[in-house]
Amino acid sequence: MLLYINIKYFIMTAKSKYQAVLDLGELLKIQDGNVSEENGVLKIKGTAKTPYEKNIIWDKIKEIGGSNPTDIKANISVADESVYALHTVKSGETLGKIAKHYYDSASKYQAIFNANTHILKNPDLIHPGQELVIPNL
């Protein structure tokens, strides 16, 4: 009986330890999600829309478990590898601010503009609600 209680406690601890990862997956609407536990390892699986979403899931895992966690295994695939991310413009944003967010460099705004010339005519004129393609660099 004691062994059973200890295993049950460990399973709940592993899941609760990574609850922020599971919450992020729900927020990002990760598709085909599956969460299980096997031999003290939390296993998560799902499909992110873009590489950026996959990266932020992995960043959250590393934030919680360190650079090489052994108590979680994640199998996150990507539905669309043709773009890095999709971004909905918010009030006050510029292409430079958006480029800084995704690429750590505001000067890469031109790549975002070039990927969106079907909806943008001027890199200095974007509007809240527009959905922009953030290209792979």
Task: Tell which wins on pLDDT, 85 or 37.
Answer: 85
Is the predicted pLDDT of residue 1 greater than 60, yes or no? Answer: no
- Tell me how far CA of residue 11 lies from CA of 22, 33, 70, 107, 123, in angstroms: 15, 18, 14, 46, 50
Say whether both 47 and 15 belong to one domain. yes
Is the predicted pLDDT of residue 82 greater than 50, yes or no? Answer: yes
Say whether both 126 and 67 belong to one domain. no
Confidence of residue 76 (pLDDT cuts 50, 70, 90): very high
| pLDDT tens for each residue of 3-12 | 444 545 444 5
**Structure tokens, 67:** 């650079």
Say whether both 33 and 69 belong to one domain. yes
Say what angle helices 2-17 and 19-27 make with each other, to 10 degrees.
50
Say whether both 64 and 108 belong to one domain. no
Q: Which amino acid is at 9?
A: Y
Percent of the chain exceeding pLDDT 90 equals 83
Q: Are 61 and 69 in contact (CB under 8 A)?
A: yes
For residues 92-110, average pLDDT: 98
> Which of 78, 96, 124 is at the close of a domain?
78
| pLDDT tens for each residue of 19-66 | 999 999 999 999 999 999 888 889 999 999 999 999 999 999 999 999
Helix (H, G, I), strand (E, B) or coil at 136: coil
> For 109-115, which contacts have Cβ atoms below 8 Å and span 24 or more sequence positions?
111/135, 111/137, 115/83
Say whether both 61 and 17 belong to one domain. yes
Say whether both 89 and 112 belong to one domain. yes
Say whether both 6 and 55 belong to one domain. yes
For residues 95-123, average pLDDT: 98
Look up the pTM and report it: 0.82
Q: Look-up: residue for tokens 């590898």?
A: 81
CATH number, position 50: 3.30.1340
Split into its structural domains, the chain has a count of 2
For residues 90-98, average pLDDT: 98
Percent of the chain exceeding pLDDT 70 equals 91
Say whether both 10 and 60 belong to one domain. yes
Say whether both 29 and 58 belong to one domain. yes
Parent domain of 36: 2-78
Helix (H, G, I), strand (E, B) or coil at 9: helix
Say whether both 100 and 56 belong to one domain. no
Task: Give pLDDT, residue 12.
Answer: 55
Say whether both 55 and 72 belong to one domain. yes
